[in-house]
Amino acid sequence: MRLEASSFFVSLLLIACGGGPAGSSMTGTDGGESTGATAPDTSPTTAGSSSSADTDEPPEDDSDGGTDTSEEPPPPPTSPTANLHFKGPQRLENDLTAVLELDPEQLCTEVGGASCTQEVHKVALGGVAPYDLGIYTPAGIGATAPIAVDRLTLQACMRRIDLDRESSDPVLFAVPQLGGGTADIGDPSATAFIDALYTRALLRHPTEAETETLLLMHADIAVSDSLLPGRDWGVATCFAVLTTTEFLFY
């Protein structure tokens, strides 16, 4: 697996930004308000069996509640301006290709082979089409945008998971398969997969609750009509994380 390098760079980035995984992510407080301060045991350090493990250890004097503290982190302040923006087609394409290590043309195509981000859903996702359609300014994000995002992300996640399942050197998904097409979510690679998604996409580690929620999703999929529940769990986990508002807005 190639989790190590990306986790290493994410950790460096977060530390450089002040606090980073030490102050928040590693404690599981960067994304979840309700979890305790206990450090998830699914950090890249443990999940990736990486030579960079040491760099992921949080500083002991972390002021935001490092991995050892059991104090409930203070709730984040609510932004009075809340000036959020939807990423739009180009940023989504850039971020998804980076997170999933795919080429843009691998991300998503619709019936007929047209690109989701550059053609079919470009305007729906807030893009412009000045030359062919005379759309010079972004249209508002309408009711079909969430569906377009879902189609884009679902296909991108399918590509990544399917490539990884066939690869001897998977990028993200290396969870062993069990009987009936299920996945061995007890294997450390399952939590490593989740952690890698979070660190790559959201620049933080998942909280315990988030990890647990996503692992539990496997049970629901296993009793659904899925014929490949292990694979579909990988796709669904990727999809769920990469369509969170935390990923879609900046």
Under the criterion CB under 8 A, does residue 160 sit at the interface with other proteins?
Answer: no
Contact map string, positions 74 to 113, toward other proteins, x by CB under 8 A: -xxxxxxxxxxxx-----------------------xxx-
40-79 positions binding other proteins, by CB under 8 A: 75-79
Among 4, 93, 195, 232, binds other proteins (CB under 8 A): 232
Closest CB 72 distance from other proteins, rounded Å: 13
Q: Which of residues 124-153 bind other proteins (CB under 8 A)?
A: 124, 129, 131-137, 139-148, 150-151
Cβ contact 198:210 at 8 Å: yes
Considering only CA atoms, which of 209, 228, 210, 229 is closest in space to residue 219? Answer: 229
- Closest approach of other proteins to the CB of residue 53, in Å: 26
241, containing H or E segment: helix 229-242
Nearer to other proteins, 8 or 239 (CB): 239
Could you tell me which stretch among 1-9, 49-57, 189-197, 242-250 binds other proteins (CB under 8 A)? 242-250
d(CA 123, CA 129): 7
Q: For residue 225, state whether it binds other proteins (rule: CB under 8 A).
A: yes
Q: Please list, residue by residue across 10-46, b when 16 or more beta carbons sit within 10 angstroms of its beta carbon and e when fewer do.
A: bbeebbeeebbbbbbbbbbbbbbeebbbebbebbbbb
Binder of other proteins out of 95, 162, 184, 187 (CB under 8 A): 162
The token duo for 205 is 């580690």
Residue list 10-29, contact with other proteins (CB under 8 A):
24, 29
Q: Is 129 helix (H, G, I), strand (E, B) or coil?
A: strand
Nearer to other proteins, 99 or 120 (CB): 120
Q: Which is nearer to other proteins, 50 or 115 (CB)?
A: 115
Q: Looking only at residues 167 through 186 of this chain, which bind other proteins when binding is defined by CB under 8 A?
A: none
Is 7 or 155 the residue whose CB approaches other proteins more closely? 155
∠ at Cα 155 (50, 204), nearest 5°?
A: 35
In sequence order, the 6+-apart residues with CB closer than 8 A to the CB of 246 are 31, 202
Polymer length in residues for the chain: 250
